[in-house]
């Protein structure tokens, strides 16, 4: 007796088993094959600060379409998955979690805090991986990486040292976003800007070459420079 087909599509009955079969058959795994032209995508690693959102879903769907298309074209296609440690953001998340438990990060000590952070990584890094699999992403999971894995972190260190020695990375004077709580610089993406009513900007710390700056401002007085921004930057 034939089984009655369901009137509506039930993804839970099909997609999980199908994806598991794909992985077992290693359809997404790639080895070196010099008879084929290589095509590789390195997934921009999602931060382990939480779970994936719609933006991640869109981004990875587009990558999946591209890598599958290249496979069908005969390329030796490889899509490398991974997750990012997002150090400062993750530290903030773990610290907030500890506060809810009534635990002070400073009292824990470095080693205990690192242990707790790795626990966070296992929880949310694992959740992200499962979410990507639920999307049906055709990644080579045998090559999954975390940015703090020994090989990855050593490679990053080696590249940064090389770039520094070649003069591409250097120390310079520039305005940065400084976090007085974390005691470190943070990116523009991690800053929340607030408009405040008040006087024109002022700087509470000395600037290198201040005297030359005022001298080169077409003899504009210091008071005028404080009031207006029509003076060129230091040369």
CA-nearest of 50, 53, 145 to 92 is 50
Flag whether pLDDT at 41 surpasses 60: yes
- Chain segment 175-214, per-residue pLDDT in tens: 888 888 777 888 787 788 887 776 656 666 666 665 555 5
Note the pLDDT of residue 226: 45
Backbone region of residue 232 per phi and psi (left: phi > 0; alpha: psi in -120 to 50; beta: other values): beta
Backbone region of residue 16 per phi and psi (left: phi > 0; alpha: psi in -120 to 50; beta: other values): alpha
Strand-pair partners of 146: 83
State the Cα–Cα distance between residues 64 and 198, nearest whole angstrom.
Answer: 50
Flag whether pLDDT at 162 surpasses 90: yes
Note the pLDDT of residue 209: 62
- DSSP letter assigned to residue 204: S
- Tell which CATH classification among 3.10.129.10, 3.40.50.2300, 3.30.930.10, 3.40.50.620 matches the domain 12-191: 3.40.50.620
Q: What are the structural domain ranges in the chain?
A: 12-191, 199-235
Confidence of residue 57 (pLDDT cuts 50, 70, 90): very high
- Chain segment 110-150, per-residue pLDDT in tens: 888 888 888 888 888 888 999 999 999 999 999 999 888 88
Note the pLDDT of residue 176: 85
Note the pLDDT of residue 55: 92
Note the pLDDT of residue 88: 78
Higher pLDDT, 235 or 65: 65
Q: What is the mean pLDDT of the chain?
A: 82
- Chain segment 64-86, per-residue pLDDT in tens: 999 999 999 999 999 999 998 88
Note the pLDDT of residue 159: 94
> How many Cα atoms occupy the beta-carbon half-sphere of 118 within 13 Å?
8
Note the pTM of the prediction, 2 decimals.
0.67
Higher pLDDT, 233 or 77: 77
């Amino acid at each position: 007796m034939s089984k009655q087909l369901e009137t509506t599509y039930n993804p839970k009955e099909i997609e999980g088993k199908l994806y598991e079969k794909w992985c077992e058959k290693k359809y997404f795994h790639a080895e070196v094959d010099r008879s084929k032209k290589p095509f590789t995508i390195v997934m921009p690693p999602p931060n382990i600060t939480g779970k994936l959102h719609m933006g991640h879903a869109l981004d990875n769907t587009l990558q999946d379409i591209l890598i599958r298309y290249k496979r069908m074209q005969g390329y030796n296609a490889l899509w490398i998955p991974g997750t990012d440690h997002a150090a400062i953001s993750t530290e903030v998340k773990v610290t907030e979690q500890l506060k809810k438990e009534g635990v002070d990060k400073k009292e824990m000590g470095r080693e205990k805090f690192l242990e707790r952070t790795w626990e966070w990584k296992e929880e949310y890094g694992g959740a992200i991986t499962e979410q990507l699999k639920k999307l049906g992403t055709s990644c080579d999971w045998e090559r999954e990486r975390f940015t703090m894995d020994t090989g990855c972190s050593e490679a990053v260190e080696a590249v940064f040292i090389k770039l520094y020695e070649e003069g591409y990375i250097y120390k310079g004077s520039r305005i940065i976003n400084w976090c007085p709580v974390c005691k470190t610089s943070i990116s523009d993406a991690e800053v929340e800007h607030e408009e405040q009513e008040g006087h024109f900007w002022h700087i509470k710390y000395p600037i290198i070459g201040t005297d030359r700056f005022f001298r080169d401002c077409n003899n504009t007085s210091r008071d005028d420079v404080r009031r207006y921004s029509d003076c060129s930057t230091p040369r």
